[in-house]
């Protein structure tokens, strides 16, 4: 599958769930979609809560959907959000992604028009702590 097609599938899935985000406090909807080791796509959106620290990021929801479906490896991930700036995964989500992804896993940050910038997990979370440290 060509890279453009893979990214387009993730963008479509992330955009579709972004509109369902529950963001009454920040007004900043985010959608995330990831591809697992079998090629399946799992998506999630951010869900805010009146008790602010209890909200859940889109990436965390997508990872949870992947795990619930029985997969254990993130092959590629894309987030989509509005605004003029490139919005990457927060630090907590970078660590959640690290649990299921390798250093070279592509992570794409998109806006409504498409991918704005692509990174590897190692670029977003250098010298990270992960499951291999506990083996």
Q: Three-state DSSP class for 54?
A: helix
For the chain, which domains are there?
3-134 (3.40.140.10)
pLDDT, tens only, 20-70: 999 999 999 999 999 999 999 999 999 999 999 999 999 999 999 999 999
Spatial distance between the Cα atoms of 23 and 50, rounded to a whole number of angstroms: 10
Residue 4 falls in the annotated catalytic set: no
**Of the residues 37, 59, 76, 113, which is catalytic?**
59
pLDDT, tens only, 64-89: 999 999 999 999 999 999 999 999 99
Q: What is the reported pTM?
A: 0.95
> What DSSP element (H or E) covers 119?
strand 114-120
- Report whether pLDDT(2) > 80: no
pLDDT computed for residue 5 by the predictor: 78
């Amino acid at each position: 599958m060509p890279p453009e097609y893979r990214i387009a599938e993730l963008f479509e899935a992330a955009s579709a769930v972004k509109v369902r985000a529950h963001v009454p406090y920040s007004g900043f909807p985010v959608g995330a979609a990831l591809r697992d080791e079998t090629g399946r796509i799992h998506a999630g959106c951010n869900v805010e809560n009146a008790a602010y620290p209890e909200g859940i990021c889109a990436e965390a929801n997508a990872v949870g959907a992947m795990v619930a479906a029985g997969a254990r490896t993130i092959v590629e991930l894309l987030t989509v959000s509005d605004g003029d700036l490139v919005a990457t995964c927060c630090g907590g989500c970078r660590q959640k992604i690290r649990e299921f992804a390798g250093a070279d896993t592509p992570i794409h940050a998109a806006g409504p028009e498409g991918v704005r910038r692509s990174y590897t997990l190692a670029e977003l979370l250098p010298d990270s702590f992960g499951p291999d440290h506990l083996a």
